[in-house]
Structure 1
């Protein structure tokens, strides 16, 4: 029997009686899994820590759950979690050996779980005000494509000759129990800094953000980064993901039992560049947010408007080794 893709955004099905991954009807609304996996919450004592939703309401990490068929969880989700947990436990060396697709699936599942909770909260809020829930078509398009690709966890979905994501892994000289998590659901950007590594993933860009930052990535390759350097890279990726102005399109072709996904050319019929113009002042505002722990303000960061402050490269454009970085106490 040919594989059947589930499309929750067609009917806007975000209740708790259907599995988030397959759409299968659940026997009870309590059939759920944690968005942030238990092993990660336990390792970093996240369960009762606050998590702010887009409507400014507060939840805790353990409050974030998604409906999931028990059999699907046992056969597909749990094995993925165990593989990721084992790799993360080994640190950079373990994560480096992971299949990139597995990391993409894991990060995508987590981010989609947050999106699912955000949509549920939005629907409740709008209905309480007697209004219909609305979401832009562009955002629906992005989220639908992410969900399609997540089904590679449990379906024979094959990405034909392309990667739907940019994924960068770095060695980082982190403090022992640091848990640095960031996301931006509008641009589907994910970042995690733990143990001795940091990961940045743009989940829906067909790899173009990685190419956009090719020059700086080549300079940092093979180096262990100071946390402030990783956060600078983070700021660059989160900002470029915001500047990326295409909505990737895909053609889906079932072949026997497999589902082939092919990327349409991003350039399309437009002569416009794939990224909007980089504005240093706006980038400086992003960087200020990412450097909050170190107290740098926008005025310092863009003191020279043409050359924002950087801990990655010096005035000659050469990489600054982590042990040479001097920070204010």
Structure 2
């Protein structure tokens, strides 16, 4: 039965006939309409009539972004999860309460939004090609295929099974070598800057990454077998215990999404096994534990700048210097965290700080003089 489940996830069924979370057909469990962004979350941030601006659903109201899932998933399995999380996210200090939630709960919740958005996007025709003989989907099938890792995680939770990750060549010792199949990061958000909304959502179907900011809590999750957590978490240790400005949270999300683009091809290949004793799917990454698959030779400063520009709504030319350096709001030149200046006093201190990077002006001639000098 569970081997069939693995095969079924790898061949996603039509969302009109099968629940995209548990895989049950509508003949077994009738569909109910689920808000992809929970109503309690929309109400907290006043999103009901707001427009979704992420690429998948441009110009749609949040309250209209729904998908059919079975009644069991909606009212029981994932409903219990929502009931547990709603008080935490709607508390006076969400970061404090959400920090006490276990990582699996948060990863499942983020994964549910991420996967449902992808399935909804794949089911919809791109209006620009609606008159073509074979219209394109908003989210092409080839991109959806890259999200099946997250889909497997959702299916396991929906059917009361576990999921773990391991590496090629790991000995079969679950207590030492089986790990969480994701990389989850939590951050406190600095809410003092009233120019910014209290909610933000970013996702990247290509790299299997999702980020959500709600009040004082910011969450970033990569459905990657825990690779980022294992090999690159030290790179971002300087952020530990720091409060991020909303702009910094967006930039950091873009950096983490970009990191996934420099993975060796073998690290993006996964073999799924069923472990009857643990009642769990084991996802084996096809690279050994002793080898870091994030390759410097795959790094492309221009691609990095374009990804940062896309998410931070900046011109990539204003982010990348002529010598390949990226301008950042996250850290000083000495590698320490850069608190985001909000008040006039903080801005005055920042102006006199010699360890800060100065964003180059848009004028090419001035840019040249700046970098040549």
The TM-score range, normalised by the shorter chain, is 0.7 to 0.9
How big is the shift at 1:279?
2.4
Residues 1:5 and 1:121: Cα distance change in structure 2 (over 3 Å): same
How big is the shift at 1:264?
3.3
Where 2:321 maps in the other structure, the secondary structure is: coil
The 5 A counterparts of 1:10-29 are 12-26=12-26
Deviation track 1:244-298 (CA, whole Å, cap 9, x = no partner) reads 3432413321415813324234359xx9944462222332233233433xxx644
**2:233 paired with 1:198:** no
Task: Name which one, 1 or 2, has greater alpha-carbon Rg.
Answer: 2
Identify the residue that residue 301 of structure 1 maps to in structure 2: 319
Preserved contact between residue 17 and residue 29 of structure 1 (Cα < 8 Å): no
**2:132 paired with 1:129:** yes
Preserved contact between residue 224 and residue 322 of structure 1 (Cα < 8 Å): no
Greater shift, 77-86 or 157-166, is seen at 157-166
Task: Return the match for 1:157 from 145, 158, 162.
Answer: 162
Greater shift, 42-51 or 27-36, is seen at 27-36
Quick one: distance in 2 between partners of 1:11 and 1:297?
A: 39
Long gaps (5+) in structure 1: none
**2:334 paired with 1:316:** yes
Task: Return the match for 1:283 from 298, 301, 304.
Answer: 304
Where 1:94 maps in the other structure, the secondary structure is: helix
Identify the residue that residue 149 of structure 2 maps to in structure 1: 145
CA RMSD of aligned residues (A): 3.5
The 5 A counterparts of 1:1-329 are 5=5, 12-26=12-26, 31-51=32-52, 58-90=59-91, 91-122=94-125, 129-131=132-134, 139-154=143-158, 155-159=160-164, 161-174=178-191, 175=193, 177-203=197-223, 205-244=224-263, 245=265, 246-255=267-276, 258-267=279-288, 273-275=293-295, 277-292=298-313, 297-303=315-321, 305-322=323-340, 326=350
How big is the shift at 1:180?
1.3
Quick one: distance in 1 between partners of 2:112 and 2:52?
A: 17
Deviation track 1:33-77 (CA, whole Å, cap 9, x = no partner) reads 111111111112222333357578643222222222213322211
Preserved contact between residue 51 and residue 60 of structure 2 (Cα < 8 Å): yes
Preserved contact between residue 156 and residue 258 of structure 1 (Cα < 8 Å): yes
How many residues get paired?
Answer: 322
How big is the shift at 1:218?
1.4
Where 1:264 maps in the other structure, the secondary structure is: strand
Preserved contact between residue 9 and residue 152 of structure 2 (Cα < 8 Å): no
Long gaps (5+) in structure 2: 165-173, 352-358, 360-373
